[in-house]
Amino acid sequence: MTYVLPLRWHSDSGLAELTDYLRWLADRVDVLVVDGSTPDLFARHADAWAGLVRHLPPDTTGAGLNGKVLGVRTGVRAAEHEHVVIADDDVRYDEAGLTAVHLLLDQVDLVRPQNYFDPLPWHAWWDTGRTLLNRALGADYPGTLAVRRSAFLAIGGYDPDVLFENLELIRTMRAYDRSEATPAWLYVRRLPPDAAHFRSQRVRQAYDDLAQPARLLTALAVLPALAAAVAARRPALVLGAAAGTVALAEAGRRRAGGTAVFPPTTALAAPVWLLERGVCGWLAVAQRFLLGGVRYGDGRIRLAAHRTRSLRTHQGRRQSP
């Protein structure tokens, strides 16, 4: 199995910890780091990881706005095994997780594990509210996926000009009728970002909802509903909605043994996160229509992700004689 890690760092504050993890990984799988960092950091990484992993720059021949997608496409093409794990630089698999993914890829083309934060500072607790609601309503969108290399290459990869790259890959696989597993029991640890990075990502993560109309409409309804309840002086409505949100998150926490990795207090974060999404959802819509997209690197990305229907249409055109 090959482990593809796309990264683009601006500082090396986490280099020692990541190197320890890569050393552990290298004893178990083939590790391939696709590094889009600046030349000086790339050289430093090459020295640190010499003989440990395969280290290469992303192939920018088919340039795109989303650097992570370019890294993933480069890595999967360069992989020497059929089973490929794709993971962000903050994802930390254990042996059981790697084994489970490997076995599942014998049966399906795409695997979506379940991430959880450990340790759990306040901002990771906050974001876990989103995770639990996703679990209660279906499946979460983790920082790691696993694919069969042959399936990935057969669909031609996925669009590098979208923001929500994991959803784009999932939908592209579905458009080509590829099989998928979403094991809610397959828990993979994720390191939390620092608080400053967390704050900087709020609107950008809300922008992802532009690819999911039902979620977007729910987010946009939060503030008007709250304002109406306050204007009508009916605090019971607000408390009832908050309690219902906590109950839904608790159902997600209890699903598939989630209590082992999600502490009891994390369900209380769900209404806090929902209020944040209600605010940031409007800011995301404003950026879409007033600024032409959300800030990403040195530019802006307009499209969150394609609809599955449009991807199927594109797939049909590719297969037409």
CB 93 within 8 A of CB 85: yes
Provide the residue-wise pLDDT of the chain in tens; the chain has 321 residues. Answer: 999 999 999 999 899 999 999 999 999 999 999 999 999 999 999 999 999 999 999 998 877 999 999 999 999 999 999 999 999 999 999 999 999 999 999 999 999 999 999 999 999 999 999 999 999 999 999 999 999 999 999 999 999 999 999 999 999 999 999 999 999 999 999 999 999 999 999 999 999 999 999 999 999 999 999 999 999 999 999 999 999 999 999 999 999 999 999 999 999 999 999 999 999 999 999 999 999 999 998 889 999 999 999 998 876 655 544
Handedness of CA 74, 78, 82, 88 (dihedral sign): negative
- Output the pTM of the full model: 0.95
- Sequence-separated (6 or more) residues with CB below 8 Å from residue 138: 182
**Domain spans of the chain?**
2-190, 195-319
User: 175: closest CA among 31, 32, 21, 309?
Assistant: 309
2-190 belongs to CATH 3.90.550.10: yes
User: 297: closest CA among 40, 69, 43, 18?
Assistant: 69
**What residue spans of the chain are helical by DSSP H?**
15-26, 39-48, 67-78, 95-104, 122-137, 149-154, 165-175, 195-200, 202-207, 213-231, 235-254, 269-286, 308-319
Phi, psi of 148 (to 5 degrees): -80, 130
CB 76 within 8 A of CB 153: yes
Question: Between the CA of residue 261 and those of 123, 256, 314, what are the distances in Å?
Answer: 16, 11, 40
